[in-house]
Each structure stands twice: as C-alpha cells, then as structure tokens.
Amino acid sequence: MRNWDLLREMSQVQRDIDEAFRGFGLGRLFAPGFDAGLALRDWPRINLREDADHVYVEALLPGVEPDKIDMSVLGNTLTLSGERVVVDSDKNGRTWHRRERGTGKFLRSIELPVEINPDKVKAEYQHGLLLVTLPKVEEAKPKRISIKVH
C-alpha cells in the first residue's frame, strides 16, 4: 500500500483550487501555500561560485530597495533577509489579471562551501542584483606544497 502524505495531499488540493479560480483573476488563494517553508527557501534566486581566494554570491532581488536588505554571516552561512513592498495596491479600480511577482518579507540562508572572513565581506547592489564577495579564511585557501626531487 502506498504511504499517505498529508502535505502532498494538501498541496494537490491547493493546486486544484488555484486552477479552478485562475480564470477569475483571483490568483493563488492560499499564497504562499501549505508548504510555504519549501517554497520560500528558493527565494531570492542565487548563483554561488568560488575561486582560490573568494566565494561569490549573486542574488536576484528586483524591486527590493537596498535599505530593505539585511545580510549577515555566521561561520560558513550567509543569511539574506528583507522585504519587497507592494508598489501598486488594488486602488484606482484596477483589476489584476496576473500577479506572479511576490511581495512581502523573505529570508534565505545559504551554506557556503568554506569558512569565510566576515570582517572583509563586500556587497554591491546594481539594478536588482546583489553582488557579495566573501574572502576565504587563510585555512580554507589551497596551499601549494613543493615536491623535492632526489
């Protein structure tokens, strides 16, 4: 017998209800959803890469004011949080036909591949893209070992 999963069943009901009301311009009735923890952990979208000396994080944050972004580092975890505020509310008699860009508070913790030096972290915000440069601690950098030939 197949195992019954309450969360999966609730998510299916949510998708069915959303599909039924999609034509009425109501969007997602239960946003962010029964499984909000699963959905929110992927926003903001990021790119994560490294070289010998640094780890680089690029986070997509369009529509978020830089002063609404909080960033902290603890050990090898970078945490981004903040809020994207509603720009255009439902005033002026407007009807929404599609609303895919979320608003509200967000929090994302990103596990970095190595320990970094939190005192030398740099961040820039350009056109909705947060660029974070995280220098590695000396112990995490690759060490060149010379080989003696006999």
pLDDT digit string, tens, across residues 32-57: 544 444 445 568 999 999 999 999 99
Instruction: Show me where the domains of the chain are located.
Output: 1-35, 41-87+102-139
Q: Which fold has domain 41-87+102-139?
A: Immunoglobulin-like (2.60.40)
Cα(13)–Cα(15) distance, rounded to whole angstroms? 5
The C-alpha atoms of residue 125 and residue 147 are separated, in whole angstroms, by 44
Give the model's confidence band at 11: pLDDT under 50 very low, under 70 low, under 90 confident, else very high: confident
pTM > 0.95: yes or no: no
